Amino acid sequence: MSKSSMAYISSGKAKDIYETPGGNLLFEFTDRVTAFDGKKKAEYREKGEITCCLAEYWFRILEAEEIFTHYMDCPTSTSMRVRRLDIIPAEVIRRNYAAGSLLRRYEAGEIELPEGVEPEEGAPIPGGMTEFTIKFEAVDRPADTKEMLFNGWMSELEIEYINDMTRRINTILSRELDDAGIILADFKVGYGRTPDGEILLADEVGTPDRCRFWDKTEFEDGVIKSLDKDVFRKGIGDLSTAYSELQELLLKQEET
């Protein structure tokens, strides 16, 4: 599929987006990586190919579990064709362990942690927790149900449906990852509506750009070994190496 026949739409943090002749979208996964709201930037070899491969891997698994998504196919190793949706301007974060912005907001006195959760990276969150964040603003920020309803972004039924779907996604991903020796600490997903109002999983899912993955064996020994973008955020290793290790563990699990 030649990009010369497509209209360029925009570029995000890690993907370029085109409109296909049929009115759908093409995601071009790039080697770009950013952190801290774009303040830290770089490029890493093969990153686009790995994230595209993993997004496709998870979309196929989720579709088989009747989690319906906008995924269509991957015409190249770095591109993905998806259905065009009306994107809901709130993304969803599902947390199984304390990490990242949750702890930063706690340390800043902005929030309380769920009951029984220790204020340290790697502390388990019993039963998990779900948060919404605003998309399409300069800086991601949390949003509560009241704000989402007031702005008409979602109805109460849609919020309930998305919460349920996100919990199901968490269950499926966690199960598959556990079998591969990986802990799913948290992840972010987005949703959109079809012209008929059906809500589908959108953007990408299960990639190390949008999840925190920890090596299970190391974690059980008291060490957090990241296989995700935290390697770049914290400057603790080579991003391509971490992403490649994650991909190898997952594909090895798929073969068995």
Assess contact for 117 and 155: CB atoms under 8 A. no
The first and second tokens of residue 19, run together, are 């409109």
Over residues 105-114, the pLDDT tens digits come to: 999 999 999 9
Do residue 191 and residue 130 come from a single domain? yes
CA 29 – CA 46 distance, rounded (Å): 10
Residue 253 in domain: no
Residue 25 in domain: yes
Residue 72 in domain: yes
CATH code of residue 114 = 3.30.470.20
Give residue 30's pLDDT band: very low, low, confident or very high (50, 70, 90): very high
CA 31 – CA 64 distance, rounded (Å): 29
Do residue 76 and residue 196 come from a single domain? no
Residue 192 in domain: yes
Work out the burial of residue 148: count CB atoms within 10 Å of its CB; fewer than 13 is exposed, 13-18 middle, 19 or more buried: buried
pLDDT of residue 119: 97
CA 86 – CA 142 distance, rounded (Å): 21
Do residue 213 and residue 100 come from a single domain? yes
Do residue 78 and residue 109 come from a single domain? no
pLDDT at 93 over 90: yes
pLDDT of residue 256: 65
Do residue 35 and residue 124 come from a single domain? no
CB atoms within 10 A of CB 136: 9
Over residues 40-49, the pLDDT tens digits come to: 999 999 999 9
Q: Range with the lowest mean pLDDT among 124-133, 134-143, 175-184, 208-217?
A: 134-143
Please name the residues in contact with 171: beta carbons below 8 A apart, sequence gap of 6 or more.
Answer: none
0.75 surpassed by pTM? yes
Over residues 141-182, the pLDDT tens digits come to: 899 999 999 999 999 999 999 999 999 999 999 999 999 999
Do residue 32 and residue 126 come from a single domain? no
Do residue 217 and residue 125 come from a single domain? yes
CATH code of residue 61 = 3.30.200.20
**Average confidence (pLDDT) over 130-139:** 86
Residue 248 in domain: no
Q: Which of 42, 58, 82 is the last residue of a domain?
A: 82
Domain count, the chain: 2
The domain of 151 spans 86-238
